[in-house]
Amino acid sequence: MRNLNHETITEAVLESQGQTANPRMKQIMDSLVRHLHDFAREVRLTEDEWFKGIAFLTRCGHITDDKRQEFILLSDVLGLSMLTVAMNNDKPAQCTESTVFGPFHVQGAPKYELGADIANGARGIPCLVRGTVRGPDGSPVPNARMDVWQSDQDGRYDVQYADIDHAQARGVLHADAQGRYHFRSILAVPYAIPHDGPVGELLDATGRHPWRPAHLHFMIEAPGYETLITHVFRGDDAYLDSDAVFGVRQSLIADWKAQADGTYLVEYDFVLAPVAMGAM
């Protein structure tokens, strides 16, 4: 321990945590140390760069509050969020794919009856959303709980407004006994993730834009089925192939159809994975 150098220090750190009681904790920490040290050696990390990295993470912490999670944004734009989702949600081919959760979900969203308008005053063109929730065999999933949220026409979620004290463009409803659902909201639009902080600076430095394609968020739960966290994307969006958080999947793209009265209609059927199938 008294004569360590840039090559031997890794083994010293691994030895120091050799008594970690939790096997999974030890596996994670050992791998983290190896990869961090190898990264620093590979790029020959300077002390100034290390200090700047620490300052960057510190600023991520300072800007994070109950309405903004900069570390989730960082994970998202680095592709780590979607990588974790992909590794942990390997569903049968016929089941709806998962995608990133995002930083704007809110616990305790208002509950609505089927057919209700969850926009609740959010600005945007009216849109009807409908479809079914089924199992892989085509059988309906009755009374599935559907937690839905989206941005308004300006690309902002309700929690991003200081002067809005009630939920808008978000809510919880249940499919009917035949697995059918329908509700009213507003037309989904593309929006930029918050980029006025450290993550935005990182995007600028790497020549990337902060835009996400238009989408609706869904979290769907039903007894006997895996919880599904996903989006439904607008098929005509310019950012489908350059989503800042890498969340687009072809199977999650749908058409928003303009109606004669100026409103829109989007139809999408969800297929949930039974718990037993997901465990296989």
Does one domain contain both 36 and 129? no
Does one domain contain both 180 and 247? yes
- The per-residue pLDDT for range 125-145, each reduced to its tens digit, is 999 999 999 999 999 999 999
Question: Is there a domain that residue 241 lies in?
Answer: yes
The predicted pLDDT at position 197 comes to: 97
Query: What is the band of 1 on the pLDDT scale with cuts at 50, 70, 90?
Result: low
Query: What is the band of 280 on the pLDDT scale with cuts at 50, 70, 90?
Result: very low
Question: Is there a domain that residue 56 lies in?
Answer: no
Domain that holds residue 162: 75-271
CA 244: distance to chain centroid? 11
Does one domain contain both 38 and 173? no
Q: Are 255 and 223 in contact (CB under 8 A)?
A: no
**Top-confidence residue, 202 or 104:** 202
Does one domain contain both 178 and 230? yes
Task: Report the chain's mean pLDDT, rounded to a whole number.
Answer: 95
CA gap 159, 142 in Å, rounded: 31
Question: Is there a domain that residue 178 lies in?
Answer: yes
Question: Is there a domain that residue 59 lies in?
Answer: no
Query: What number of other Cβ atoms are within 10 A of residue 47's Cβ?
Result: 7
Does one domain contain both 134 and 242? yes
Does one domain contain both 29 and 118? no
Query: What is the band of 68 on the pLDDT scale with cuts at 50, 70, 90?
Result: confident
Lowest mean pLDDT among 74-78, 88-92, 176-180, 238-242: 88-92
User: Nearest-CA neighbor of 148 among 124, 117, 121?
Assistant: 117
Q: What is the CATH number of the domain that holds 143?
A: 2.60.130.10
- The per-residue pLDDT for range 189-221, each reduced to its tens digit, is 999 999 999 999 999 999 999 999 999 999 999
Does one domain contain both 98 and 235? yes
CA 67: distance to chain centroid? 15
- The per-residue pLDDT for range 53-62, each reduced to its tens digit, is 999 999 999 9
Does one domain contain both 112 and 30? no
Residues 93-117, mean pLDDT to the nearest whole number: 94
Residue 3 has pLDDT above 90, yes or no: no
Q: How many domains does the chain have?
A: 2
